[in-house]
Amino acid sequence: MKNINSILFGLTLLIFNSCQVKKSENQIYPEFTYEKIEEITLTEYNTELNTILNDDSIIELFSKYFNNSNNYFRNDLIERIGVKPKYFIKFKTEKENLELTIYPTLNKNKVEIGFFRTLKLNENKNVYRKYNRFYINSKILNLIESEMK
């Protein structure tokens, strides 16, 4: 009887947690120096087709796009809609890399971008990676698609 009660309690908790709707959350932006990008790798999610960009003029276009504050929706809250990504972008510099995942949204003017950020837990160098998201103007898709041809 004890086992049945434990199983029922566990199932009740599972059902309750799965029915809860996660509320909106604030956007978090990566701390990255876009001006120092040396190479960009674009990957299409469905085909896994990679395009490597190391032309300075193209890299500058991406750098300017991500540095332009008008391309962000800073006052919006992230609404998770559970869709598969469309593209991956990897920015490489001499000292660091930034990997972004681009998701479509219901709003055609913006796309959602996700990335992992490493956070320190304490002085003993215990770290974990947290997944963060932010919105950016959907015109980034035009830039990506023009370079993937």
First and final C-alpha spacing in the chain: 64
In a domain, 7, yes or no: no
In a domain, 97, yes or no: yes
What does the pLDDT look like over 76-94, one tens digit per residue?
999 877 889 999 999 999 9
pLDDT of amino acid 58: 96
Mean pLDDT score, 2-12: 59
Distance of CA 69 to the CA centre of its chain: 17
Instruction: Render 96-119 in DSSP notation, one character per residue.
Output: -EEEEEEE--SSTTEEEEEEEEEE
In a domain, 15, yes or no: no
CB 37 within 8 A of CB 54: no
Q: Return the higher-pLDDT residue of 9 and 107.
A: 107
Cα–Cα dist 98/88, whole Å? 10
- Identify the residue whose tokens are 């049945």: 4
In a domain, 19, yes or no: no
pLDDT of amino acid 99: 96
Helices (H), 20-138: 56-67
Q: Return the higher-pLDDT residue of 120 and 129.
A: 129
In a domain, 12, yes or no: no
Is pLDDT of 12 > 70? no
Helical packing angle, 139-147 and 56-67, nearest 10°: 170
In a domain, 39, yes or no: yes
Whole-structure pTM value: 0.78
In a domain, 92, yes or no: yes
Q: Residue 95: name the closest of 53, 36, 40 by CA.
A: 36
For the ranges 8-17, 21-30, 73-82, which has the lowest average pLDDT?
A: 8-17
Q: Residue 38: name the closest of 89, 91, 98 by CA.
A: 91
Structural domain boundaries, residue 44: 24-147
Mean pLDDT score, 18-29: 68
Tokens coding 127? 């770290």
pLDDT of amino acid 18: 46
The domain tally of the chain equals 1
Mean pLDDT score, 116-128: 73
pLDDT of amino acid 113: 96
In a domain, 58, yes or no: yes
Specify the CATH number for the domain of residue 34.
3.30.1490
Q: Residue 116: name the closest of 125, 129, 127 by CA.
A: 129
Q: Residue 144: name the closest of 48, 51, 29, 32 by CA.
A: 51
pLDDT, the chain, mean: 85
